[in-house]
Amino acid sequence: MYSSASLKSKMAYINDSDEEQEEDEDMLLACILVSEYLEEKEERPKFYVRERIAWEQHIAELTEEGDEAFQRLYRMNYSMFLKLCSII
């Protein structure tokens, strides 16, 4: 038979492994939850790097396209755009 001291030390060993197993399970659960979160998380919106417009050339091209080209693109006529620029 086992002595009470021997049983207590064996119980302590069992309890330690149970606690370690619980800690391992908790860590595994945390890793799974983080993994799921990262898979579900939306990516940051992409942004585009654009080249600068050669403004004078751009206006000349719009003028060649017709009177309404600037209006369609910028939703205001060119004279109002110039007025807005002077205010700003």
How confident is the model over 34-70, as pLDDT tens digits? 888 888 777 777 777 888 999 999 999 999 998 799 9
In the prediction, which pLDDT does 37 show?
83
In the prediction, which pLDDT does 72 show?
93
**Contact status, residue 7 vs residue 15, Cβ threshold 8 Å:** no
**Contact status, residue 62 vs residue 69, Cβ threshold 8 Å:** yes
Q: Tokens at residue 63, please?
A: 């003028």
Domain hosting residue 24, numbered range: 1-42
User: Per residue in 1-32, pLDDT tens?
Assistant: 444 555 455 455 555 577 888 888 888 888 88
In the prediction, which pLDDT does 13 show?
53
Q: Check whether residue 62 and residue 37 sit in a common domain.
A: no
| 80 found inside a domain | yes
| 1 found inside a domain | yes
**Contact status, residue 74 vs residue 82, Cβ threshold 8 Å:** no
